[in-house]
Structure formats: C-alpha cells, structure tokens
Amino acid sequence: MNSKDKFITPGQYAQANGLSVGKVTQMLRDGLLPGEKVGGRWRIFADPAPGSSQPPVAAAPSPDPAPSQRFTVPAFSGMTYLTEQGVKTWLKSGRLKGGVNEAGQWYVDAASLELPDVRRLLRKS
C-alpha cells in the first residue's frame, strides 16, 4: 500500500457515510475523526495501523434508551452528524436498525445508538 492509499478526502468520507462535507470537516476539527491538514486541505486516515501514533476516533458518550424506543429520521439526524438523507441511506442498507412504520415513515431503533459506526458520529451534548 503506498502513502496515497492511507488517506481519503473529506468528500470521499462524506459520500461513503451519508454526511455533508461540512459535517466531516467539523468532525475533523473537533477531533472526532483521525486526520491531518496538509497544504490547507484535510486528509482522513483511512485505516490507522494498530499501535500507531495517529489519534483514535473519539467515541461520544451514548445515552441509555429503552430498547423499544424509536427515533424519527429528523430526530436521529439531530443526534448525530448524519444528514436526514444519510440516515435513510443507512437504514435502507442495513447499517442502522429500524424500518418503516404503519404510516410509511422511516424510524430508527434506539439500539442503533450502540453501533460502533454510530457511536463515533454522535454529537456531544
């Protein structure tokens, strides 16, 4: 693997995770994503090696909701750095637990808050 393969751009990360580039940049500034700024541009560490000196992805504290609790897409989006479209994309692909209710509205199960991919995207309260 050459050095170019070890990094991805905020745009690539945003597209792969259903986020806006602005949110990814803010996460980099807040230290929630491991990356560095080179030549005025952010680079995200794609896969830091175990034991490396690269900063780890910070896990935000997770609330402890009841297992049967559900969140609307806008509410879940507000709790995370995912856009509403990103939440729907993750639901459709199975990355989030949830579904569609009787009224045809998407919902997210509270158990999704414990998923590692979601924990690192939680907004600090």
Mean pLDDT by 10 residues, the chain (125 residues): 67 82 82 81 71 41 51 91 91 86 86 88 82
DSSP assignment letter at 114: G
Q: What is the amino acid identity at position 86?
A: G
Quick one: pLDDT at residue 58? Answer: 34
Two structure tokens written together for 88: 């729907």
Domain ranges of the chain: 3-45, 70-119
Quick one: pLDDT at residue 47? Answer: 61
Quick one: pLDDT at residue 125? Answer: 62
CA dist 48 and 42 (Å) reads: 16
Q: What is the amino acid identity at position 50?
A: P
Helices (H) and strands (E) in the chain, counts: 5, 6
Is the pTM value of this prediction over 0.95?
Answer: no
Collapse the DSSP code of 14 into the 3-class scheme (helix H, G, I; strand E, B; otherwise coil) and give the result: helix
**Strands of the sheet with 7-8, listed across from one edge:** 7-8, 41-45, 35-38
DSSP assignment letter at 122: B
CA dist 17 and 109 (Å) reads: 19
